[in-house]
Amino acid sequence: MIDTRAQFYRPASFGETVEIETRIVEWGRSSFQVQHKLYKGEALAAECREKRVWTVKDLQSPNGMRSQAIPEEVKARFA
C-alpha cells in the first residue's frame, strides 16, 4: 500500500451494523486503486481509497521486493 485517503461523513461506533462496498476503480501497469464505501443504513458514512502496488520477491534488492506488471489473469478475476 503506497497511499490511503479517507473522508468521514457520519460517526460509527463499535457494535453498530454497517455495510461496506469495495471495488477496484483503476488499474495501472503495476498498481491499482481500491475504493471502499461504508454505509450505516442508507446513509454513506465514509469513503476511502487506497493505492496498492503489485510486488514480487527480489533477492537482489535491499528491501527484498520490486514492482511488476499485474498479470492479466489477476485483473480478469475482478472483472
Domain boundaries, the chain: 3-77
Q: How many beta carbons lie within 10 A of that of residue 65, not counting itself?
A: 13
pLDDT in tens, the chain (79 residues): 999 999 999 999 999 999 999 999 999 999 999 999 999 999 999 999 999 999 999 988 777 899 999 999 999 998 8
User: Could you please report the per-residue DSSP string of the chain?
Assistant: --EEEEEE-S---TT---EEEEEEEEE-SSEEEEEEEEEETTEEEEEEEEEEE-EEE-TTSTTSEEE-PPPHHHHHHT-
Q: To the nearest whole number, what is the mean pLDDT of the chain?
A: 95
CATH superfamily for 3-77 is Hotdog Thioesterase (3.10.129.10)
